[in-house]
Structure 1
Amino acid sequence: MAIQTVMFDFSGTLFRLEHRQSWFAGLVDDDGKPLDADEQAELLRRMTAPVTLTVDLDDEHREAWERRDLDPELHHKAYLEILRQSGVPGTAQAETLYRRLIDPAEWTPYPDTAAVLKELSGAGVKVGVLSNIAFDIRPAFTARGMDAHIDEFLLSYEVGLVKPDPDVFRTLVERLGSPAESTLMVGDHTAADGGARDIGCEFALVEPLPTAERPDGLRAALREHGVL
């Protein structure tokens, strides 16, 4: 069956959080030296790791981590502890970095995101965005005029469901009004995003590379499934 609907993950798929040097002003390592490029990259990885837990958490913070994408307060609690364990000096610095993470304006679209969304919409293909996330990502699209090409957003903290629960995919498929068999899920995580296959959707994997290193990953993934 031809693809009539495409669902996209957000982080590492349509957008990526890419840091600026100014974010790390004043941060030092255990020896009091400014964080080097590798240390900054590792800290950012810990802030954006979608599934893998990067530090050892006690029971209280582990529960917050496991439920972080269902509740903004738990998300905040878990990530502040991760930042603390990652050597961020002081609550104020951790709060500043955390605010970067949840600010849609700080996220960078992949080079082909805008064009792909516009072309899909123009071709009559329904488009949904499905994300395990605890903050509203819609402003990232609105600020760039991309929201006009999105038919539905389904965010975990708003619906109380997280990928790979089949019900989260089923809910978005039903909202978009197309059969699962004619729906393609595009994401950067085989387990979480690939769960769409459990309800009969097709799945396309993209690599969550830096945006400059993945100029046409979305378009290539769609073409492999006969879209665009």
Structure 2
Amino acid sequence: MTDLRPETSPPIEAVLFDFSGTLFRLEEDDSWFAGMELDSSLSPAQSREVDGHVQAELMRRLTAPTGRSVSMTPEALEAWMNRDLAPHLHREAYLHVLRESGLAHHHAEALYAHVIDPSCWTPYPDTGPVLAGLRRRGVTTAVVSNIAFDLRPAFDPLGGGVDEFVLSFEVGAVKPDPVIFQTALDRLGVAADRALMVGDSDEADGGARALGCRFALVDPLPTRERRDGLIAALWAHGLQV
């Protein structure tokens, strides 16, 4: 007799997390912009004042996971396309974005310094509890990030809780390339069909589905507006923490 019962998915043994917009968010402090003005020679149509609207747009340009927001020369585009593979390209790419957005060079340098400072990144309210809860359940975790600086220190105030960090500039591959996801799975010793990828970009993070991983999309809202997005994403895939 043919078994007509629906197939069930194997249990999740590992969760892979994106970093920016998923576990942490780069949220500006007004002090970052103190004394900053737009360079009217670069952006004559805009007010010289870096007000709240300008701040929000600059932060969007610094954290958008895909696409580009300013005009680029061939050299700048080359740096942008490879920015997450090498620190010097990351620096070159984002300083270009900030300068093209109207910031004078010294202001662009100051703002970029916050981008690559792990202490400037804010964890979502449920990041720590989720990582601790998964560890208690015996579910291993990895941070899989397109990034060109060492973000590990950002997790120190949370007590760690991550088993592996798979960072694009260290492994030479960027999402959605399957190589970066496979590297995480290999390090954790978990098959793709027993892993869940959680991220804020369907285009980049959703690339894990090509290997057979499950995928949960979260909204990269400000941390004060997304209190339990990670918990909800895990619950939707049968993981209660």
TM-score, L = length of structure 1: 0.96
User: Partner amino acid for 1:151?
Assistant: D
Q: Any conservation in 1 of the 2:24–2:122 contact (CA below 8 Å)?
A: yes
Q: 1:35: how far off?
A: 1.4
Q: 1:27 aligns with which of 31, 36, 46?
A: 36
Aligned residue number for residue 62 of structure 1: 77
Structure 1 window deviating more from structure 2 (98-107 vs 28-37): it is 28-37
SS of residue paired to 2:122: strand
- 1:47 has 2:62 as partner: yes
Aligned residue number for residue 144 of structure 2: 130
Q: 1:83 aligns with which of 88, 98, 101?
A: 98
SS of residue paired to 1:143: helix
Aligned residue number for residue 6 of structure 2: none
Runs (4+) off by over 6 Å: none
Q: 1:143: how far off?
A: 3.1
Over residues 78-106 of structure 1, what are the superposed CA-to-partner deviations in whole Å (9 max), with x where a residue is unaligned? 111100010112x2211110000000000
- 1:153 has 2:165 as partner: yes
- Give the Cα separation in 2 of the matches to 1:46 and 1:191: 17
Mapping for residues 197-212 of structure 1, pairs under 5 Å: 197-212=209-224
What is the Cα-based RMSD across aligned positions, in Å? 1.0
User: Partner amino acid for 2:28?
Assistant: H
Over residues 28-58 of structure 1, what are the superposed CA-to-partner deviations in whole Å (9 max), with x where a residue is unaligned? 2337642111111001111111112010100
- Give the Cα separation in 1 of the matches to 2:59 and 2:215: 27
Q: 1:139 aligns with which of 110, 133, 153?
A: 153
Aligned residue number for residue 120 of structure 1: 134
User: Partner amino acid for 1:184?
Assistant: L
- Give the Cα separation in 2 of the matches to 1:25 and 1:52: 28
User: Partner amino acid for 1:218?
Assistant: L
Aligned residue number for residue 71 of structure 1: 86
Aligned residue number for residue 97 of structure 1: 111
SS of residue paired to 2:216: strand
Over residues 94-129 of structure 1, what are the superposed CA-to-partner deviations in whole Å (9 max), with x where a residue is unaligned? 111000000000000000000000000011001110
TM-score, L = length of structure 2: 0.91
Aligned residue number for residue 108 of structure 1: 122
- Give the Cα separation in 1 of the matches to 2:35 and 2:48: 9
The structure number with the bigger radius of gyration is 2
User: Partner amino acid for 2:109?
Assistant: E
User: Partner amino acid for 1:202?
Assistant: R
- 1:168 has 2:177 as partner: no
SS of residue paired to 2:158: coil
Aligned residue number for residue 232 of structure 2: 220
- Give the Cα separation in 2 of the matches to 1:44 and 1:127: 28
- Give the Cα separation in 1 of the matches to 2:223 and 2:126: 10
User: Partner amino acid for 2:234?
Assistant: L
User: Partner amino acid for 1:213?
Assistant: E
Aligned residue number for residue 25 of structure 2: 16
User: Partner amino acid for 1:178?
Assistant: V
Q: 1:190 aligns with which of 178, 193, 202?
A: 202
- Give the Cα separation in 2 of the matches to 1:175 and 1:64: 29
Q: Any conservation in 1 of the 2:185–2:192 contact (CA below 8 Å)?
A: yes
Q: Any conservation in 2 of the 1:47–1:79 contact (CA below 8 Å)?
A: yes
- Give the Cα separation in 1 of the matches to 2:208 and 2:13: 15
Q: Any gaps of 5 or more consecutive residues in structure 2?
A: 1-9, 41-45
- Give the Cα separation in 2 of the matches to 1:81 and 1:170: 32
Q: Any conservation in 2 of the 1:26–1:34 contact (CA below 8 Å)?
A: no
- Give the Cα separation in 2 of the matches to 1:54 and 1:32: 19
